[in-house]
Structure 1
Amino acid sequence: MTEIAAKLARLHNRIAAAAARSGRIADAVRLVLVTKTVAPDRVREAIHAGQTDLGENKVQEGGKKAEALAGEPVSWSMIGHLQSNKVKDVLKFAAEVQSLDRLSLAAALNKRLQFLGRNLDVLVQVNTSNEASKYGLTPEAVPAFLKELTAFETLRPQGFMTLARFTPDETEVRRCFRVLREIRDRALNDAPQGEALHHLSMGMSGDYETAIEEGATIVRVGQAVFGPRPLPDSHYWPDATSHTG
């Protein structure tokens, strides 16, 4: 077993244990393995160890990596902030966008998807930490946004995504996750999409177990498998909010 395969196995075990603590089975939580800055050959090791659900933060990097791994049985999710002018490129490889945060992006995606004759699973990003540095809707804006989304027939909203505040204060981290869970629970009853809005994408390498305990159905984890990146996020993306996995 390679080092990556061993770390992946340990990660799955910890996900299963956290799911059990929340009264669920391991299969109730989907792992999106974050591959940002990771070379394709190392990603391929994880694929060969059974991980086929991958996530990227940047369109250009994701496109190149998808090309390098063409032929592998993988599905790509866009998990970082998405500019409307990158829609054409992201739809070349991504089967899901977890960072839908504005109507202009929904319109751009819908237009391109209509041209392609396909649909797209999306998650609505919510800024539960109320930090100006983070993308996402305010919690209060979510109900109206979901109503507006019904105009875009190619988009299939599946739930919500958030990033908790980066802090050692577990109470605050849990609060962020609980805010998203409460938004989801209200939406299941009140939103036009109803029961389709089941998923909660929350939790990364530093807090995924807490997120699962608070109801996450999707976690976005990379460094727990691939190790820390050699340089800080600001080196790779000097103009972007961190989406550390």
Structure 2
Amino acid sequence: MEFDYSEELLKKISDNVLSVKESIKDAERIAGREEGSVTLIGVTKVFPVEYAEAGAMSGLTDLGENRVQELVPKVERFSSLGIDVNWHLIGTLQKNKVKYIIGKTNLIHSVNTVDLAEEISKRSVSNNVTSRVLLQANVSGEESKHGFAPHELKPAIEKIIAMPGVEICGLMTMAPIEEYEGQAREVFAKTRVIYEDLKSFTGLDSWNVLSMGMSQDYKSAILEGSTHIRIGTAIFGNRAEYKPV
């Protein structure tokens, strides 16, 4: 088995993974949560496959991508190496690209329209698989963000829950870049309330994922009940500074 990463890159990423995991433990303890209650997703957006490989060798069991065109070759490379991780699509998914990822993801975080869910359903049935999905909730109300407004979630769920080949597992949200201290946590707290209400509304056993929190705000997200955090910069470095060799 021949990997693409250097020992230097592996050490850097391993150190960062260890640091983030320790911070997660601290946040879980402060929140009074059980250790290990949070799933860490390493996000390799922009970074090449060797970063993802080094992440997996550093103990990451879950990896995420924003773009289909980056996800697919990494999934295929990992398959050829025999590396088993859970792949997450966390970025905006266009209907015309759904066909490329069916059967390749453990969880799609960004279902933001009923039409998109219908396409996922159709493709999943054709491939005889069930696709696990999260509904993207735009709780901050920012026009620049995709997702269902809070009042749109129940009507959407009523339609999606009946679709074959799709399993709804919870919500994903993104907080705004803070204009004042505590703004992100306010959004996470609101999302948690909505999530719990919808858990009762759906009655689904599969409704157990609350995906919120990134490098700049994941500790606040954990305090507000996040089960999955999406970490890129804190593990792999600043994307703006990445220079392909």
Q: TM-score, length-normalised on structure 1?
A: 0.90
Asked if 1:183 corresponds to 2:194, the answer is yes
Q: Judge conservation of contact 1:79–1:98 (CA < 8 Å) in 2.
A: yes
1:3 correspondence with 2:12: yes
**Equivalent residue in structure 1 for 2:38, among 24, 29, 45:** 29
CA displacement at 1:92 relative to structure 2: 5.0
Q: CA deviation at 1:82?
A: 0.4
Q: Secondary structure at the match of 2:36?
A: helix
- Partner of 1:54 in structure 2? 63
Retained in 2: the 8 A contact 1:56–1:77?
yes
Corresponding residue number in structure 1 for 2:141: 130
1:195 to 1:180, Cα distance in 2 relative to 1, 3 A: farther
Cross-structure match for 1:65:
74
Specify the code of the residue in structure 2 equivalent to 1:107. E
Residue correspondence of structure 1 range 70-81 to structure 2 within 5 A:
70=79, 71-81=82-92
Partner of 2:4: none
| Cα distance in structure 2, aligned partners of 1:36 and 1:149 | 28
Change in Cα spacing, 1:216 to 1:152, as seen in structure 2 (3 Å) is same
Residue of structure 1 aligned with 2:158, choices 147, 155, 162:
147
Q: Is the 8 A contact 2:24 2:219 kept in 1?
A: yes
Tell me the distance in 1 between the aligned counterparts of 2:161 and 2:51: 40
Are residue 101 (structure 1) and residue 112 (structure 2) matched?
Answer: yes
| Counterpart for residue 5 of structure 2 | none
Is the Cα contact below 8 Å between 1:187 and 1:194 reproduced in 2?
no
SS in 1 for 2:170: strand
Give the number of aligned pairs.
231
What's the % identity of the aligned pairs?
Answer: 33
Counterpart of 2:95 in structure 1 is: 84
CA distance in 1 between counterparts of 2:13 and 2:109 reads 25
How far apart, CA to CA, are the structure 1 residues paired with 2:232 and 2:184? 19
Q: How does 1:94-243 map to 2 (within 5 A)?
A: 94-191=105-202, 193-230=203-240
Shift of residue 33, structure 1, vs aligned partner: 0.7
With over 3 angstroms needed to count, the CA separation of the structure-2 counterparts of 1:92 and 1:117, relative to structure 1, is closer
The one-letter code sitting in structure 2 at the alignment partner of 1:4 is: I
Three-state SS of the structure 2 residue aligned to 1:98 is strand
Q: Give unpaired runs (5+ residues) of structure 1.
A: 233-245
Instruction: Give the deviation of 1:25 after TM superposition.
Output: 1.9
Cα distance per residue 1:68-106 (max 9 Å; x no partner): 222211121110010011011122522210001111111
User: Deviations along 1:192-212, whole A, 9 cap, x unmatched?
Assistant: x43432221000000000100
Asked whether the equivalents of residues 189 and 195 of structure 1 are also in contact (C-alpha less than 8 Å), the reply is no
- Structure 2: stretches of 5+ with no match in the other structure: 1-9
Amino acid at match of 1:59: V
* Equivalent in the alignment of 2:25: 16
Match of 1:165, SS state, is coil
Q: Does the 8 Å CA contact 2:161/2:168 hold for their aligned counterparts?
A: no
Letter in 2 for 1:139: P
